[in-house]
Structure 1
Amino acid sequence: MTVNLSDTSTWLPLDGLAPGFDASKAEVTGDLDGRTFTLVDDRGTRIAHTFSAGAVAWDYRPGASDPTAAAAQTDACEVFRVDDDLYYAQFHHDYLPNEAVSLILDLRSGYALAVLSVLGEKTSEHVAVQHLFGVSRIEELEQHGDAPAPTSELIGRRVLWVYSSEHAYEHVYLSPHWYTWQCLAGPEQGLADTDENTVWRVRPGIYVFTWREKVIPCGSVTIADHRDQRALRSHGVLFGEGDGAAATPTHFTFGAHGRLLSNTVHPAEFDPSRALER
């Protein structure tokens, strides 16, 4: 039977990826258990995070120019060690199920990057999942070096990512706004699309890469170590609409091993990274 790959109505919902997709997920770590990290941004907003086994208790106190209401809660949380003194924490708000938080804590630099994933309605102006980025200093630590910042350093790379023995995708990083994915193995084999992306540099060779899909109402936040081109490693989350109108949003973490397949170098006058300067 011939499959119409262009018929997006037949594409799997986000839940359809979950079985086995997390086979390469790293072990969670208890390195942060019992520790508190208070994030302070340039608005004066303070968010204290206290970690324990499988959970994080957070207390949000907005600054003078922050319209967000004060709040506090304890959520289930997974913490992964990315590199020496570099951790990725992932949690899904219980009281606001349409929000999930990806928190990057660099205990060496003293800076943190938080990515808030918000699930809403797709419109003509934006896709269903939006990502909000916030850089903070960690109050309990001294700050050294550069804070996380948007980057164009991935543009031109073509990377193979293997999520399990059955799931494999390639990514082509096109510009500060777009990337192309193609499923090479797994339930989406043969499918491909070009979607929105945003990339932040956390450390030399380590990037937070996020994407937001337009066909399936979902988005992803990953932190990827590109320092060894033959042995890339990433950790991340997929978050989006569950199967059915009344379903709870789908939220699950995963990991992948990768390698650089090729790298395109554009002539200076046609360099896509110049879009970041506009």
Structure 2
Amino acid sequence: MSLNLLDTSNWLPLDGLAPGFDANKAPLVQDLSGQQFIVHAKGDPMTFRFDDDEVQWTAAGHAGSAPYEAFLVAEQLYYAQWHSVAEPELAISLVLDLTNGTALYIGARLGQPTPSSVAVQHDFRPGTLDRFTTGIPMAESTGLIGRRVEWVYSESHAYEHIYLSPTWYTWQCLAGPERGLADTDSNTVYQVRPGIFVFTWREKVIPCGSVTIADHRDVNAIRSHGSLFGWDESGTQPVHFTFGAHGRLISMTHHRTDLDPAL
């Protein structure tokens, strides 16, 4: 008997997805090692100090030291990701644009879903770096709306995303253990540079959320870096891992101006 895909109790837990999902993850870099960054955003200044293996940070009411991973997104543009040791229900993403002097802190807080809220909540804090005075903070964007993109995470994992509105996107699994599953979930998008976007989503069926950054400048060779954070199958232990994907634009939807969800 075939699996009833409409029965969400059959859906794969986050820890079941992890094996092999990170095959297309980009090489890690240590370019941030030995550097300290002070980010001015809402609230008190945030401080991040990197060595070869760990980051020490004070940000958004949190502080600690943890192993981190860093990826080079484009020239002088970095994405760093770590899971708090002191607060296991907190994962942090930091985007650093060392050319424009801007940064984006995203704190992912893992809790229990309710009928009116999802398990992961994201705290977005765009700001400027201490040694710059003219950087324009990264801002929310509608630049992805209307795009349909195919993403390949490994030889056996592939999905498509359809970016619907400032609030929603639809995903469908094309290959892998979730093949045939699809849903529409909430998202938030920030433009980092022209053609480069931070895309985050928060799932309602599987208790997890994701932070990704993707370079869409070449629509036939899109590159993304990201992390997933959520509960394991038991709902008691946080699961956190990083991944990467290669993408391409499949199609573009153009709405009539008065019906355009981006406006």
Question: TM-score scaled to structure 2, two decimals?
Answer: 0.97
- Of 57, 76, 80, the residue aligned with 2:67 is 76
Question: By how many angstroms is 1:145 displaced?
Answer: 4.9
Superposed structure 1 runs of 4+ greater than 6 Å apart: none
Question: By how many angstroms is 1:149 displaced?
Answer: 0.4
| Structure 1 residues 73 and 145, CA gap change in structure 2 (3 angstroms) | closer
Question: In the alignment, which residue of structure 1 is the partner of 2:250?
Answer: 261
Amino acid at match of 1:3: L
Question: In the alignment, which residue of structure 1 is the partner of 2:38?
Answer: 38
Alignment of 1:1-278 (within 5 A): 1-43=1-43, 45-60=44-59, 68=61, 72-139=63-130, 141-246=131-236, 248-274=237-263
SS in 1 for 2:209: strand
SS in 2 for 1:34: coil
Question: By how many angstroms is 1:31 displaced?
Answer: 0.6
SS in 2 for 1:273: coil
| Structure 1 residues 259 and 245, CA gap change in structure 2 (3 angstroms) | closer
SS in 2 for 1:21: coil
Q: Do 1:24 and 1:254's aligned partners in 2 also have CA atoms closer than 8 Å?
A: yes
SS in 1 for 2:20: helix
CA–CA separation in structure 2 for the residues paired with 1:262 and 1:144: 37
Question: TM-score scaled to structure 1, two decimals?
Answer: 0.92
Give unmatched runs, 5+ long, in structure 1. Answer: 63-67
CA–CA separation in structure 1 for the residues paired with 2:133 and 2:170: 36
Amino acid at match of 1:56: V
Question: By how many angstroms is 1:250 displaced?
Answer: 0.2
Q: Number of residues paired by the alignment?
A: 263
Give unmatched runs, 5+ long, in structure 2. Answer: none
Q: Do 1:233 and 1:256's aligned partners in 2 also have CA atoms closer than 8 Å?
A: yes
| Structure 1 residues 37 and 145, CA gap change in structure 2 (3 angstroms) | closer
SS in 2 for 1:269: helix
Question: By how many angstroms is 1:144 displaced?
Answer: 3.9
Q: Do 1:5 and 1:190's aligned partners in 2 also have CA atoms closer than 8 Å?
A: yes
Q: Do 1:109 and 1:143's aligned partners in 2 also have CA atoms closer than 8 Å?
A: no
Identity among equivalent positions (%) equals 56
Q: Do 2:128 and 2:135's aligned partners in 1 also have CA atoms closer than 8 Å?
A: no
